Amino acid sequence: MKSRPQLIILCTVAAIFLLSSCGKKSSHNVLRIGIARTVTRIAVGQKSRLTAYEEYREGGTDVDTASAATVRDFLRAPVSTAKWTVSDNELASIGEDGTFTALKPGRVSLKGSWDGRDATAEIEVVKSLPVGPLPKVEMKGTRCAPQGIGLNLAQDGKLNFNLIFDGDCLDVALEASAPDKALPWEIPFNGGTVQLTSAQGPVVSGRVRMNAGGEVDFTVWAEGDGAFPLSLRNKTVLLVGDSMAEGVGPWLKKKVEEAGGRFIDGHERSSTIIFWQEGGKLREKLAEYRPDIVFIALGSNEIFLEKPEVRAPLVQQMVSEIGAHPAFWIGPPSWKPDKRLVHVIEENFQPGHFYNSNDLKVPRAGDGKHPTAQGYGIWTNLIWNWYARTV
């Protein structure tokens, strides 16, 4: 048994050791600050709270802290005192606490500043969204919080998905070829699986499942020129128009039926906007088939009108007759510069639902106007990819 003096010495040494350990500062070397991608798209009138964070490596001589830092290349921590600015105060505003308010459609740049460092990000303000500000992320049984998420589908089918966590959780980085089938898709990565369950145009919902446990549900805006598969089950699609609609029809029919829909080809050769509106033909077709979706391919027989603005009221009346149903106007594939009819149609039709074919480059038939069969196929693929990203 140790004597009392020995115990006093041991306690004193222990106390000095503990005090010296507590006195050590766990310093860290800040690499940069960034803005968490908690919002990339937001609709007019919506608000979202933004967060800045710092990326750092641990410094000092604390062995335990240094060891912890080797779990990943760098660590992240939120910054609550960042100063915020926005590039265009007419499109959006941002408060001192990082609350972003969308005012008008357009793209704005943000800057967050902290301790002499700056971080920038871009947010696109859109007219409307089927959900709130994007992305939306919900954790289930995960230790680390998602700090950023991104999804990209290229026109060649290359799919990229990234999910960034705070703390020491490993990020998800997936690169794969998109499956050649309708959603849902399930794609494995090193550490789990990514499921894409549904898509509404570029707005995609899904889930990340980690092998170690836990899930992250998400809804994001997919970047890129690729189109996610559509479901038109129990939907009737009506096509009206002139001889251009006749050429597109068989190709569009295949697309619609592959998506589970019913296709009605109601075109009339050599027809015009006057024929379909003033002649009552559009009303007749709408009443007969009661379509859920309408495609219109018109304008080729009026493309060189000297006063195309006279068609504006007729286009507006067509929009009124179609009502709440989505409609998509396929612009005439001009073979030489038009007299602004294309502009008149686009300005007076359903916003964002006009496909401009003015720069179409496809094989043409002997008349130099109508595409060949191959040309119609190429044109329809372009139209369909645009449509799938629009709805």
Give 304-340 pLDDT, tens digit per residue: 999 999 999 999 999 999 999 999 999 999 888 889 9
Percent share of the chain, pLDDT over 70: 87
Identify the burial level of 3 via C-beta atoms within 10 angstroms of its C-beta, where 0-12 means exposed, 13-18 middle and 19 or more buried: exposed
pLDDT for residue 69: 39
| Residue 235 reports pLDDT greater than 50 | yes
Domain of residue 330: give its range. Answer: 236-390
Pairing of strands 203-210, 192-200: antiparallel
Contacts of 217 (CB under 8 A, 6+ apart): 137, 138, 140, 205, 206, 207
Question: Do the domain assignments include residue 22?
Answer: no
Q: Answer for the pair 308, 302: CB distance below 8 angstroms, yes or no.
A: yes
Contacts of 173 (CB under 8 A, 6+ apart): 161, 162, 189
Percent share of the chain, pLDDT over 90: 69
Same domain, 139 and 125: no
CA dist list (Å): 47 to 106, 258, 324, 376:
15, 39, 27, 44
Q: Which residue has the higher pLDDT, 55 or 149?
A: 149
Same domain, 380 and 280: yes
Q: Which residue has the higher pLDDT, 68 or 355?
A: 355
pLDDT for residue 24: 40
> What is the maximal distance between C-alpha atoms in the chain?
114
Give 10-57 pLDDT, tens digit per residue: 333 333 333 333 444 445 676 777 787 679 999 999 999 888 888 777
Last residue of a domain, one of 228, 250, 282: 228
Lowest mean pLDDT among 5-9, 224-228, 270-274, 364-368: 5-9
pLDDT for residue 28: 61
Same domain, 247 and 380: yes
Q: Answer for the pair 37, 123: CB distance below 8 angstroms, yes or no.
A: no
Same domain, 32 and 169: no
The alpha carbon of residue 268 and the mean position of all alpha carbons in its chain are separated, in whole angstroms, by 37
| Residue 4 reports pLDDT greater than 60 | no
Q: Answer for the pair 352, 390: CB distance below 8 angstroms, yes or no.
A: yes
Reported as a pLDDT band with limits 50, 70 and 90, residue 173 is very high
Give 133-143 pLDDT, tens digit per residue: 999 999 999 88
Is residue 198 helix, strand or coil?
Answer: strand
Same domain, 52 and 92: yes
Q: Answer for the pair 132, 49: CB distance below 8 angstroms, yes or no.
A: no
Q: Answer for the pair 303, 278: CB distance below 8 angstroms, yes or no.
A: no
Q: What angle do CA 350, 351, 356 make, to 5 degrees?
A: 90
| Residue 166 reports pLDDT greater than 60 | yes
The pair of structure tokens assigned to 380 is 């329809």
The pair of structure tokens assigned to 345 is 């149609």
Same domain, 259 and 359: yes
| Residue 355 reports pLDDT greater than 70 | yes
Q: What angle do CA 307, 368, 372 make, to 5 degrees?
A: 120
Residue with tokens 């709440």: 324
Same domain, 44 and 113: yes
pLDDT for residue 73: 56
Contacts of 310 (CB under 8 A, 6+ apart): none
Question: Do the domain assignments include residue 23?
Answer: no
Task: For the beta carbon of residue 64, count every other beta carbon within 10 angstroms.
Answer: 9
- CATH number of the domain encompassing residue 88: 2.60.40.10
Average confidence (pLDDT) over 291-305: 96
Residue 222 and residue 236: Cα distance in Å, rounded? 27
Same domain, 385 and 327: yes
Question: Do the domain assignments include residue 247?
Answer: yes
Same domain, 207 and 241: no
Number of domains in the chain: 3
Question: Do the domain assignments include residue 1?
Answer: no
